[in-house]
Amino acid sequence: MKRSREQAASELFAALYPRLAGWCRRLVDDDETAHEIASEAFTRLWARWTSVAEPRGFLYVTAANIVRDHWRRLERERKAVHRVTTETAVRPHTEPSDPSVRLLVQSLPERLRVPILLHYYADMPVREVAAVTGRKEGTVKADLHAARELLRAHLRRSLDHTR
């Protein structure tokens, strides 16, 4: 029994790791960090192997959460560096807001961010996003719509400020 469990985990890893790591790479823009995140997601899956009904969904949601934590840490570091450089330089703050889509997606509430990451970055169809998140398809569609509207509004504001 233990052998078949290990064999199933090995096959799942071979089938899903490259795509998961590639997805993470697009989100964090760093190969090493992407591989660390994908590996951590598999480690967490392995720890719950017998209780996870949908391993692929578990991996992507777990990786999305780890990516979110990574983004938060980077933002805290950026703010700390900015604070230090602002304290040492006597100049007004004229830095425009960053219209980067990644940062905008990061700023979405989790309820909206996870479906966006799964649907647009992991290429999961709405049906699969619904199954993975435990939501109805209509709810996922509504969340995707709401997220796109928020992103559109943020991008418009960002672009207006840069002109």
Q: Model confidence over 38-84: pLDDT tens digits?
A: 999 999 999 998 898 899 999 999 999 999 988 888 887 777 666 66
| 116, 152 Cβ separation under 8 angstroms | no
Asked whether the whole model's pTM tops 0.75, one would answer no
Q: Model confidence over 110-149: pLDDT tens digits?
A: 888 888 888 887 788 899 889 888 899 999 999 999 988 8
Cα distance between residue 48 and residue 29, in whole Å? 28
Helix (H, G, I), strand (E, B) or coil at 55: helix
Q: Model confidence over 80-102: pLDDT tens digits?
A: 666 666 655 544 444 444 557 77
| 62, 41 Cβ separation under 8 angstroms | yes
Q: Which two tokens stand for residue 128?
A: 């699969």
Cα distance between residue 121 and residue 14, in whole Å? 20
